[in-house]
Amino acid sequence: MNPASFDPVTAVLLIPIGAAALLAALPGYRLTARLNVVASLATFLAALSLFAIDRPPPGPYVLVDDLNIVFIVLNTFVGFTTSIFSASYIAHELDTGRLTPTYLRFYHAMYQIMMFGMNLAFVSNNIGLMWVAVEIATLSTVLMVGIYRTHAALEAAWKYFILGSVGIALALFGTILVYMAARPVVGEGQDGMIWTLLIEHAAKFDPALLNVAFVFLFLGYGTKVGLAPLHAWLPDAHAEGPTPISAVLSGLLLNVALYALLRFKILLAANPAAIAPGPLMVTMGLVSVVFAAFMLYRRRDIKRLFAYSSIEHMGIIVFAFGMGGPLANFAGLLHMVMHSLTKSAIFFAVGHISQIKGTQRIHRIRGLTVTHPALGWGLVVGVAAIAGLPPLGIFMSEFLVVTSTFARQPLLAIVLVFGILLAFGALLLRLTSVAFGRPRGSSAPAEASYVPMFAHLALVLVAGIYLPAPLVAWFQNVARLLG
């Protein structure tokens, strides 16, 4: 293809849509699973080309800047690796009869529609369009969470649906308020929703209206980030859906909502008279960290355990962005990337483990390192990473968050460290029983694809030891953008 006419943004959006239509039409799961992988790979490559090709100027609908490239590349990469994992995961689900071929067709189409929704949310320059995109991504995941049609799965999907809808409704109200604030300055119609124009004129907006708008947006999108006390949907949705969906929920969908939140945070920060969004985010972040850390001790279900760990980490990330400043923002970004990679790797392992053992109950899974060394040790490394042990990537980002906070607000840092240590204890406690000791449960050989899991873990390990200079420079630049 002629590079001049190749538009990566269009490709990132059109490939998933085209693939969704194709996957809905094609029968046969082997073919569609492979096609799903190919489409995800193509989307990832298109996203990578954003680095190489000159960016389009911000238009009324599409925007590409340093901030969202990070999100898009991460999104499409994890989407790609998860599709590989999903291909090996669903074969087992078909064998056990939990999914039928018809549902599988639906599942693959929904997977691509979800990728489309998330990519659209990232590239949109229009806050109304961004809202619609987040809704698309949410709806498609709701349908996938309920795909097993068991009582528990339907309960989870319903809860997710209702809470997600309320969150989305609040976010829309906030969006309308932002438009109301922008209208006297930017003018009526289309322009009042274009983010780049809003940012230019934000200093002249009515600060009171912006404040109220941000509260609604924070509650609305915060529900989707999974911040306590609005997190109630998250553990259920993670535990009852297919595991590839748990991986993308934790690794990607939470990031989409976080991204929307960050965009509005930048908008608010551009208006000197408006409230600082920081304290709100810091408070909710800390509450989530401490709450989730306590909840981790009571978990009996392995997917639920890691869902609460996601709440904890989203809390840390929101806390870091709430603190603001170049260093904390840098740490927040790094932590987000590391968390996405690690958490999806853990879910890849957990997915195969729960299939082999036929259960998600923690006490029925013992001694994995003995019976299934690859899966067991993969899980050990993953949990060590997510708990924040050196030399893995999350240790570094957590270290940065904590040290930068100690320098500015020692009291907040103490609370944060308390939460992190508490979660650390809970995770190690569960890990020792699951990974070591006398084996329990089935020891049938795993038909797993280890590549996605170990690829993620390798990236996390490398990032913990050595971050390439261009990457650091890029992140520092984005951190400055975030203010």
Where do the DSSP E strands lie in 294-436? none
Q: Quick check: 137 binds other proteins (CB under 8 A)?
A: no
Q: Which is nearer to other proteins, 46 or 194 (CB)?
A: 194
For residue 366, give the 3-state DSSP assignment: strand
Q: Is 310 among the residues that bind other proteins (CB under 8 A)? A: no
Which two structure tokens, joined as six digits, stand for 37?
Answer: 């992988």
45 binds other proteins (CB under 8 A): no
**Which tokens hold the place of 248?**
């993308």
The least CB distance from residue 249 to other proteins, in Å, is 17
Stretch that binds other proteins, among 143-151, 328-336, 423-431, 434-442 (CB under 8 A): 143-151
Given candidates 97, 189, 410, 445, which one binds other proteins under the rule CB under 8 A?
A: 189
Which member of 10, 100, 190, 477 binds other proteins (CB under 8 A)?
190
Cα→Cα distances 456→250, 274, 339, Å: 14, 40, 10
Tell me which residues in 362-391 interact with other proteins (CB under 8 A).
363
Q: Is residue 193 within the footprint of other proteins (CB under 8 A)?
A: yes
The verdict on 481 binding other proteins (CB under 8 A) reads no
Specify the residue, 122 or 205, whose C-beta has the smaller distance to other proteins. 205
What is the per-residue burial (b if ≥16 Cβ within 10 Å, else e) of 211-223? bbbbbbbbbbbbb
Q: Which is nearer to other proteins, 303 or 352 (CB)?
A: 303
- Does the protein bind other proteins through residue 185 (CB under 8 A)? no
Told to check if 274 binds other proteins by CB under 8 A, we report: no
Using the rule CB under 8 A, give the single segment among 1-9, 69-77, 107-115, 174-182 that binds other proteins: 174-182
CA 276/CA 180 separation, integer angstroms:
20
Per CB under 8 A, the segment of 207-215, 272-280, 385-393, 426-434 that binds other proteins is: 207-215
- Nearest CA among 335, 291, 284 for reference residue 312: 291
362 SS3 class: helix
Compute CA distances 237 → 94, 163, 176, 262, 479, whole Å: 21, 11, 29, 24, 32
301 binds other proteins per the rule CB under 8 A: yes
Tell me the two tokens of residue 1: 């293809």
Nearer to other proteins, 17 or 169 (CB): 169
Q: Which residues of 21-50 are buried (b: 16+ CB within 10 A; e: fewer)?
A: ebbeeeeebeebbebbbebbbbbbebbeeb
| Residue 45: CB minimum distance to other proteins, A | 30
Which of 13, 472, 413, 68 lies closest to 262 in space, CA to CA?
A: 68
Query: Taking the complex as a whole, how short is the minimal distance between the CB of residue 142 and other proteins, in angstroms?
Result: 8
**Closer of 172 and 431 to other proteins (Cβ):** 172
Number of H helices, E strands in the chain: 20, 0
Distance CA 235, CA 11 (A): 33
Q: What is the per-residue binding string for other proteins in 93-132, x denoting contact by CB under 8 A?
A: ---------------------------------x-xx-xx
Give whichever of 82 and 246 is closer to other proteins, judged by the CB atom: 246
Three-state SS letters, 114-163: HHHHHHHHHHECEHHHHHHHHHHHHHHHHHHHHHHCCHHHHHHHHHHHHH
**HSE-CB for 60 with a 13 A CA cutoff:** 4
Among 300, 408, 471, 472, binds other proteins (CB under 8 A): 300
Peptide bond into 326 cis (omega under 30): no
Q: How far is the CB of 360 from other proteins (least distance, A)?
A: 6
- Residue among 95, 188, 200, 447 that touches other proteins (CB under 8 A): 188
Contact 58, 196 (CB under 8 A): yes
Token readout for 419 is 């939460």
Which is closer to other proteins, CB of 179 or CB of 475?
Answer: 179
Applying CB under 8 A, among 29, 148, 160, 179 the residue interacting with other proteins is: 179
Binding of residue 250 to other proteins (CB under 8 A): no
Count of residues making up the chain: 483
Per CB under 8 A, does 200 bind other proteins? no
Which of residues 159 and 339 has its CB atom nearest to other proteins in the complex? Answer: 159
Token pair of 61, please? 């609908």
Residue 359, helix vs strand vs coil: coil
Question: Which residues bind to other proteins, rule: CB under 8 A?
Answer: 126, 128-129, 131-132, 135, 139, 146, 149, 151-152, 154-155, 157-159, 161-162, 165-166, 169-170, 172-173, 176-177, 179-180, 183-184, 188-190, 192-193, 206, 208-209, 211-212, 236, 239, 298-301, 304, 360-361, 363
